[in-house]
Amino acid sequence: MSENKSKSVFKKNIILIIVILLIGVAPLLFIKSEFGGSDGEGEEMIKTIKPDYEPWAKSLIELPGSETESLLFALQAAIGAGVVGYVLGYFKGERKNADR
């Protein structure tokens, strides 16, 4: 009976993960807006200084809205902060256990 319960919990967790991913990815794919970051400003400044300048690299993926870049940057920062916090907590716990 507990095996069926663990399978049920596993299925619920998988469904929740899929829903969370859909909530996070759907706006990136379907919503377009006009939010600009510093990259666009820099490009405009370069074109005013040297109008015939052509960028030598292009984006690998064309994102639907420019606020998507900000979202991805914030996500990257949050993941990095989580990793740093985990590592610091891990080492603090190791030191606390070593003192015992």
Q: What are the angstrom distances between the C-alpha of 74 and each of 56, 59, 64?
A: 27, 19, 17
Please check whether residue 53 lies inside any domain of the structure.
no
Give a yes or no: residue 81 inside a domain. yes
Q: Does pLDDT of 28 surpass 90?
A: no
Q: Model confidence over 35-55: pLDDT tens digits?
A: 656 667 787 888 899 888 887
In total, the chain counts a number of residues equal to 100
The total domain count for the chain is 2
Q: Which domain holds residue 96?
A: 65-100
Q: What is the sign of the dihedral through the CA atoms of 62, 80, 77 and 17?
A: positive
> DSSP secondary-structure letter at 33?
-
Q: What is the pLDDT of residues 60-89, one digit of tens each?
A: 777 777 678 788 889 999 999 999 999 999
Q: Considering the domain boundaries, does residue 51 fall inside one?
A: no
